[in-house]
Structure formats: C-alpha cells, structure tokens
Chains A and B, each alone.
Chain A
Amino acid sequence: MMREHQLVIIGAGPAGLAAALEAEKAGIEDIVLLERDEYLGGILQQCIHNGFGLDYFGEELTGPEYAERFIDDVRESSVKIRLKTMVLNISSDKKIIAINEEEGMIFLKAQAIILAMGCRERTREAIKIPGTRPAGILTAGTAQRFINIEGYLPGKEVVILGSGDIGLIMARRMALEGAKVKGVLEIMPYSSGLVRNKVQCLDDFGIPLKLQHTVDYIYGKQRLEAVDLIQVDDNFNRLPETRERIECDTLLLSVGLIPENELSRDMGLKLAPGSGGPLVNELRETEIPGVYACGNVLQVHDLVDYVSEEAEVAARGAANFIRDSLKKREKEIIIEPGSGINFVIPHKISYQDESRKLIRHFLRVDEPRENIKIVIRDEAGSRIASFGREIVTPGEMETVKLPETLISEGTDRLNFSIEAEGVEENGKQ
C-alpha cells in the first residue's frame, strides 16, 4: 500500500528538523520526517560541546541544546515523525521505500522530497595506512558516540589523526574523561579546526599538535599497540628519518567527512566534484524537480547555523514547488568556481523571484590566504561584485550575499575567484 504525502524529509538532524519547521510555516500541512536513529537531532546529540548557535540564535549553545530548540517545536507541530526508520530507496518519481520495526516495509509517494541525510566519516582506507587491523582504530565520531551517548571510553592512550574540529574536540573530551591523549597529527601545514578549538582543546591540556605529520604504520595483532608517526614535506613526501614509534591503544581518525549520498545516487543524481553532494540551484533543488538537498548531504558545513539556514531555503523551495508558485528564469545562470575556490553552492540560479534581494552563496577556498577579495565575474569577464576578506582558510566556509540587482538579464554564467587585494579594477563594481 502506497501512502501519499505532500512533503517527505529524509533525516531528522539539524537540516531535516529546520526544513520540517520551515515547510510547515510556509503552509505545508502534510509533512513526514523520517529518521533512522532512535532520537531526533542527529549528530548534534553527541556533540555535547558548546559553540553552536551564535549565528542562528545569537547565543552560544551545546549541540543537544541547539537540537532541542528545534525538536520542541517539531514535537508541537503537525509534522509526522517516524524514528528508527531507514530509507532504503528513493525513485526519481519520488516513491520512497523505508523500513522500521513497527510497520515493517513502508511505501510512500511524495510531491516533494528534501534530502537531509547528513554525512559520514572517512575511514582508514581513505588515507591508506599500512599495517595490521587490530581493535582500537575508530573514527572520531564513533568514539564520540561511545563516550557521550553509550557511556564507554574506547581506550586509554590515544593518538588522533586529523586536526579538524572533530579531532580537536575529541582530544579534549577524552582527556577530560581520563584518557591520555598523546598527540594530534595533521598532514597539512595548518590545522583545519577553529583557532579557539586548538587553544581550548589542545593547549589547555598540553596535548601536542604535530603539523605536517601523519601515521605511517599500525602495530598490534589483537588490540592496537603502537603507531609510527612520520613527518611529511611540503609536497607530502614522507621523511623516513623522522619516523617515530608511539605506543597507544587507540587511534582516532578525523580525516574528513563525506556527504552521505547513496540514496541520491540511486535516484540518478550526479554528485558535484568538490562539494560531494548533488548539483543544486539557489533553492537547493536538485536536478530532479521537487527533490531538494540541504545540510551536510549537500556540502559539509562547519557551522550548524548555516545548515539550519540552508534547510529553510530548501523548505521554502519545496513549499513553493508543491504550490506550483515558482517562476523559472529565461536563462539559467551557471556558477563556476574559479581560481582559489574549490566549490560554490548553489551551482546555478534557476528561478526568478522579485521578492528576493540577495542570493547567499557558500564557498570554500583551496588554501589559507590573507587580504584577498572574492570576485564575481560574468561570462564576459566583467567584474560584477567583489568582497574583501582579511583572512580566508579552507577550514572556514565563506559566504557572500550577491545582490540580485547586480545580475543582468542576459547573464548565463558567473565565475567566483580569489584575487589579491589591490589588483587593478577592470570592470564594473
């Protein structure tokens, strides 16, 4: 039996929760929220540290607090929640197959779908560390769940590979709970985590951060016994004379996140290089009309605040799609990442919207730079906008708000690039 709904949202993490609330606010009455875990809130529930919400709520919250503000509202809304429900397949004509322990197989049909599945962590294979395969090697997120939700410490002597925020946060978390964190390794010459996390998670606890270092070998038959650290040069060549054996029973991997797009791929959506998520327009609509993507399934964000905001954009898009009140531009505008930029979201601008003053773009730069400009040029190479930045790093997502009035009618391409401050202006401002 196939049940029909106006809007089905896949995933009840920060993206799914915000999307559900915004869609309801936009007048959609029949919303179903599917979540595979046994609670709402997704990964936020295990991110018990503070630092969330400054942008969205204007105050600093922990992950569970941030989540619960949305959860409380969703619980009081008309949104139908299904927990412990795993979506198995979505077809391009928006039929959804899911399963849970209460109903068994569930078959749904939706007018619009919002993909909000989040991301998963890269594993040891992503970085190909030679050696044995003992117990004691786990991703930082798995360790976080063990410690903060299940209540178990995975080990007592820890090396952490990867200095992104999750790696830094877990270094402090394990030190606080009595484990000895022997060091955090980072293959890049800089940490991709926030400075604040570096100071408050490592320096506060005397945990060394070893830049341009990685794990070269893993020892131990049953349980991890040691790892070899090695330094790399600027071209990532390993320097054998720097190899050093460190005894530890636990190796946490914080080596990157990948948008979790198995369902998107199965429904025929192509994934964009750089962001790793589906191609979307400014409403976060994918190449299948009426199917939207937002949050970490689209691009790995570093601020949950942006996830909530992006989910609301998608939800308003979906609501307008359901009401059939969208107006296409005559020509779609393709957005290209240019020099110094890894990717820009959205990938294109498809709709006309008089009420809209600004279009917000998210982008990631390829390396840290100071005193630069983010420059937007049209297909003729003319500069249509420029945004100065004192400092940009790949670890912190940049956003720019492009005034709609600056886009001329016939434009079909916009190129975003990083240019040095003080380069001569040669186009309209």
Chain B
Amino acid sequence: MENNDINENTIVCVNCPRGCRVRVQSQNGEITNITGYQCDLGIDYAKEEFKNPTRILPTTVRVKGGELELVPVKTARPIPKSRIGEAMRELAGVKVQAPVKRGEVVVEDIAGTGIEVVATRSIALSQDQDNTGKKKETS
C-alpha cells in the first residue's frame, strides 16, 4: 500500500554559524519542497542530509604492547549515520598490535559499509616490550 502522506523534516544546516533550520517536505521518500534556507549551501546540505546522512566516525581501539593503551582511529570516509552504533560495537572488539603507524588500516570494512578504519596517531612499542613485541614478564 502506498503512503502518500507529505512528511516534513527539519534539518539544521551546519555550513555557517547561522544554523538555518531548513525544512524538507517529502512524499514517498522523494523531496517535494525545500524552504527555510538563506543561501544555496542550505539546499545542497539539506538534500544530502535528507537522502543519505553520513558522518566521519572518530574513536579509539585497543592496542597490544603499545606505549599507550589506545590508538585513535577514524573511518577513512564518512559512513551512514545509521551504522555508527554498529561500528562502535565492532570496534570495541578490535585490538591492534603495536607499533601502529598513522594511516595504517585497522579494520578493512567497518559495519558492512565497505569503508576502512584507519589509525590517526602513531603508537610506538611500549618501553617494557622487547623488540619482538612480547610483553616482558614482570612480577
């Protein structure tokens, strides 16, 4: 059964401090009207945000044997907003081996998006690691 209701969503444009509240009217998922913007940037932003809102996800993953416990990472490209929760759950289980180099791929395909997760900081080996990367026995 087709739903012919007209929907209206408000999208706050993030292009400038003005933060225009752009109203997007749609029917069957197709945009029928856009109002409330003060410049063209607002139209483009609202269209994209309506159809396919995406975000870069910056977070951390665990490191084994590094000078720090965590390495900061981000998705190499924006991922769909709706996949962020799943991506965080997946990354909670990831542990990379030190040393880590900035730009190194940590996950090939995050949450089924086909997008990589990369390290955003280089992490050296922990000082109490020997050069094999194994933790020295400490009592």
The interface centre, meaning the residue of B13, B19, B88 with most chain A CB atoms within 10 A of its CB, is: B19
Whether A334 is near chain B, meaning CB under 8 Å from some CB there, is no
Least CB distance, A391 to chain B, in whole angstroms: 5
B88 touches A176 (CB 8 A): yes
Docked-complex contact B19 and A64, CB < 8 angstroms: no
Whether B17 lies near A68 (C-beta < 8 A) is: no
Encode B63-74 as 1/0 by CB contact (under 8 A) with A.
Answer: 000001110101
Instruction: Identify which of residues 18-68 in chain A touch chain B, using a CB-to-CB cut-off of 8 Å.
Output: 45, 48-50, 60-65, 67-68
Interface flag for A234 (CB, 8 Å): no
- A204 contacts the other chain (Cβ, under 8 Å)? yes
Contacts of B70 in A (CB 8 A): 148-149, 151
Q: A64-B120, A65-B120, A204-B55 are in contact. Are A199 and B12 (CB under 8 A)?
A: yes
- Asked whether, in the complex, the Cβ of A148 is within 8 Å of the Cβ of B121, the reply is no
B55 touches A68 (CB 8 A): no
Contacting pair A194 B121 (CB below 8 A): no
Q: How far is the CB of A307 from chain B (nearest CB, A)?
A: 19
A68 lies within 8 A of B102 (CB): yes
Tell me if B17 and A176 are in contact (CB < 8 A): no
Q: Which of A195, A395, A396 has the most CB of B within 10 A?
A: A195
A148/B56 in contact, CB under 8 A:
no
Contact of A391 among B18, B58, B68 (CB under 8 A): B18
Q: What residues on A are CB-neighbors of B55 within 8 Å?
A: 200, 204
One of B18, B19, B58, B69 near A198 (C-beta < 8 A):
B19
Which residue on chain B has the smallest CB distance to residue A200?
Answer: B55
In the complex, what distance in Å separates the CA atom of A200 from the CA atom of B62?
25
Size category of the B interface is: 20 to 34
Q: Are A194 and B17 in contact (CB under 8 A)?
A: yes
Q: Write the residues of chain B forming the contact surface with A, with a CB cutoff of 8 angstroms.
A: 12-14, 16-19, 55-60, 62, 68-70, 72, 74, 81, 84, 88, 102, 120-122
Interchain nearest-CB distance for B94 vs A (Å): 14
- A63 to B120: give the CA distance in the assembly, Å: 8
Q: With A50-B74, A148-B70, A198-B12 as given contacts, are A395 and B17 in contact (CB-CB < 8 Å)? A: yes
CB within 8 Å for A200 and B122 given contacts A62-B72, A148-B70: no
Structural contact, B16 and A195, CB atoms closer than 8 A = yes
Q: Find A195's partner among B19, B62, B72, B102 (CB 8 Å cutoff).
A: B19
Find the A residue at minimum CB distance from B56: A50
- CB A263 to nearest CB in B, in angstroms, measures 28
Q: Is there an interface contact between B58 and A62, defined as CB atoms closer than 8 Å? A: yes
Query: Which residues of the partner chain A approach B56 to less than 8 Å between Cβ atoms?
Result: 50, 60
Bound complex: CA A395 to CA B17 (Å): 9
Is there contact, CB below 8 Å, between B17 and A393?
A: yes
Q: Told that A62-B74, A64-B121, A176-B84 touch, could you supply 16 new A-B pairs with CB distance under 8 A?
A: A48-B120, A50-B56, A50-B58, A50-B74, A68-B102, A148-B70, A151-B70, A176-B57, A195-B14, A195-B19, A196-B14, A198-B12, A204-B81, A391-B17, A393-B17, A395-B17
A48 pairs with B12, CB closer than 8 A: no
A390 at the interface (CB under 8 A from B): yes
Q: Is A150 an interface residue when CB atoms closer than 8 A count as contact?
A: yes
Looking at the assembled complex, report how far the CB atom of A81 sits from the nearest CB atom of chain B, in whole angstroms.
15
CA distance A392 to B120 in the complex (A): 33
Task: Report whether A200 and B69 are in contact in the complex, using a CB–CB cutoff of 8 Å.
Answer: no
